[in-house]
Homo-oligomer: A and B are copies of this chain.
């Protein structure tokens, strides 16, 4: 496809107008202000449109979209124990497939081209990803209760199975990550064994970190150190980590993240909705930590709308720090694109540049809410919404265009997801 006469968000997060971008074999092969001589197939008229690198959702649990609205206005412990856990206990691979498909559809409609997912029912999730042609980093997170060998942990074994079966499958569109659920859900022995196991494998490590104050403080009471320091000391951070939340990390923790080149998956909506607090993303960025943006699951958001999340990312630091001049639109666009891909270990994605993966989204600049055009990047972050997303392309393949999905039978998926949600609820009630 040739995007013709289109505005683009360039690698410096500046807007360049009247550009030509040629895509072939899943890659961006041409970027110039003059039309190419080569033929790139369909010519897409880019007038009044903006081409951006696709957005990355750096933390979610996609099958949990089945729980949207199922657990409202509850404190975290009741949310988990009374609602989420009993529901999840009745899920199965097929239901997880429908939840994931619904999530992927929603994410594509927001311009999201890749997502980092931590969940179980890996085969169900993989089926959805393979069918939909979405891009994923998936981790089956480990929870441990004893000091035995982690090789005997069923969750660990599932992770090994998934890695063997799916890692780097679909031309690299699928990556299997390693994952510890969190400090408070694992024994020190398991964490240390995991650190040793992960070392040198090159797989990304997904972990929930200092999401709530009680989690953070309890760790300090138990071990005399913060969760970040604990993971650092256990060698976990010697692997490339993406830490979700980081609401309660301290200055010393931030230094550890920076030193090890770890990434943070900042989930502002979920952290607000569950009453966890507000992550100090301004400080993290200032200290040079790589920060991406995550929606977390629809059970605590309740949408997988990365554009709404970008808006929160830009607004919250200003309100909390009482400074209007921090965390601007370009900072947020960097977080949502190239930083996100970096956290996934995908360094050939997230920039509109020759040789990079053609993971792209097209934004309508002619909508009422995008007028006038004083600051296109500002309009994108502060005023745009998913209704302005015209197209989403992953590895050069159009997966969403003008409200239609090319790889997803959306009516079938909605019906299947509704049925899965209803049946699961009924089974929980029957207990």
> Which of the candidate stretches A180-188, A298-306, A346-354 sits at the interface with the other chain?
A298-306
On chain B, the residues within 8 Å of A301 by CB distance are: 382-383
| A67, closest chain B residue (CB) | B374
Q: CB distance A418 to B372 under 8 Å?
A: yes
Main secondary structure of the interface of A (DSSP, over half): helix
| A411, closest chain B residue (CB) | B366
Docked complex Cα distance between A325 and B385 (Å): 27
Q: Is A74 an interface residue (CB 8 A)?
A: yes
Q: CB distance A373 to B418 under 8 Å?
A: yes
| A321, closest chain B residue (CB) | B275
| 23 A–B pairs (Cβ distance < 8 Å), ordered by A | A68-B374, A69-B372, A69-B373, A69-B374, A72-B328, A73-B326, A271-B319, A272-B315, A272-B316, A272-B318, A272-B319, A273-B314, A273-B318, A274-B318, A274-B324, A276-B319, A277-B319, A278-B320, A302-B379, A308-B308, A371-B418, A385-B386, A386-B387
Q: CB distance A79 to B324 under 8 Å?
A: yes
Q: Is A172 an interface residue (CB 8 A)?
A: no
Binary contact track A309-353/B, C-beta < 8 Å → 1, others 0 = 001001110111111111011000000000000000000000000
Q: Is A378 an interface residue (CB 8 A)?
A: yes
Q: CB distance A417 to B72 under 8 Å?
A: no
Interface residues, chain A, CB within 8 Å of chain B? 66-70, 72-76, 79, 102, 105-106, 109, 213, 269, 271-278, 298, 301-305, 308, 311, 314-316, 318-326, 328-329, 366, 368-369, 371-376, 378-379, 382-383, 385-387, 410, 414, 417-418, 421-422, 425
| A323, closest chain B residue (CB) | B275
Docked complex Cα distance between A73 and B382 (Å): 11
Docked complex Cα distance between A392 and B108 (Å): 27
Docked complex Cα distance between A222 and B239 (Å): 59
